[in-house]
A and B are shown apart, each in its own frame.
Chain A
């Protein structure tokens, strides 16, 4: 009887250890656990958007790029660059995502490349992720306020970031810094996103990034057609 009880105790211990191990395998390491798939998505739509930014350095000129996005879902979209004020050879560049494969080509080159290792969807842009607005306040610390009319809502994030001194002995490792870093150990970084909220799932239509008072990037959706 005691032997049976000992065997049963050992069996229980082995089972418990296996279950704890399995639990750690599933939840212990977020980088190896199977990722969750995004829960919501936008309907098929076409967007044209202009991105103006300091693409040639924080103290450089402002350049402009225009893209046309044909969006059928987070797993199925195509993007084409239709304008580039600084590098016209980029016009005609394409970028698409289909299932797990990202395919891209660059203007003025007939080379097409594919990278097929995407276990989660590749969004067309960071700001173009369906449902991201629901996380801006709680996860990222944005504040929310009404927009210019009842159809728009504005989210704003202001962060104070540390300036990083460059290594004078190695100028090639210089970190790009705002001009204000010459007189202050920190600088202010601001992001503002305007969402259209008269649709089933809000869509961002304007994004503005500032360093101090200077605009480093401004994105504006100039055409939006929901199919």
Chain B
């Protein structure tokens, strides 16, 4: 009898550990894609659970004919009941030169945004012809609550 109880306790512990490790991601939602309709088409979305933001993802090509690109900013806002209040900003990031179609995730950490969140994402590109200049992607806004 004792042995059986011990077995149940051990199983319950394993199950709890498994749920703790995987349940948040299993319950997580993803916002609809917001895309930059420039020549090298790419999109963004964020992954969240309730009002906790987990991941900020960029998907697709990021060269757009440019020599370099970088994360310009990711702005996180929370809803204060009447408007959006800024919570945190990431960026500008380091310049990158890869031009392949691929996937990039900002490991900015989890963020609790009470009453709902708004995440703004934007990249910047660098190019030289007879002179050098930069430009920004369109700003992508993701909302969740």
Q: Do A and B bind each other?
A: yes
Q: Which residues of A contact B (CB under 8 A)?
A: 30-31, 35-40, 51, 53-58, 60, 65, 74, 87, 90, 93, 95, 106, 108-111, 113, 115, 117-118, 120-126, 128-129, 131-132, 134-135, 139-140, 157, 161-162, 164, 172-176, 189, 191, 209, 211, 216-217
Contact partners of A106 in chain B: CB under 8 A? 75, 84, 120, 139, 141
Main secondary structure of the interface of A (DSSP, over half): loop
| Total residues of chain B contacting the partner, CB 8 A | 54
- Contact between chains at B68 and A173 (CB < 8 Å): no
- Contact between chains at B39 and A56 (CB < 8 Å): no
Q: B131 at the A/B interface (Cβ < 8 Å)?
A: yes
Q: B109 at the A/B interface (Cβ < 8 Å)?
A: no
- Contact between chains at B59 and A175 (CB < 8 Å): yes
A184 to chain B, nearest CB (A): 15
Nearest CB to that of A139 among chain B residues?
Answer: B129
A153 to chain B, nearest CB (A): 18
**Bound Cα distance A36, B131 (Å):** 5
Contact partners of A174 in chain B: CB under 8 A? 59
Nearest CB to that of A140 among chain B residues?
Answer: B65
Q: B64 at the A/B interface (Cβ < 8 Å)?
A: yes
- Contact between chains at A217 and B37 (CB < 8 Å): yes
Contact partners of A93 in chain B: CB under 8 A? 139
Among A110, A120, A128, A216, which residue has its beta carbon within 8 angstroms of that of B37?
A216
- Contact between chains at A173 and B57 (CB < 8 Å): yes
**Bound Cα distance A161, B63 (Å):** 13
- Contact between chains at B130 and A111 (CB < 8 Å): no
Q: B41 at the A/B interface (Cβ < 8 Å)?
A: yes
- Contact between chains at A209 and B134 (CB < 8 Å): no
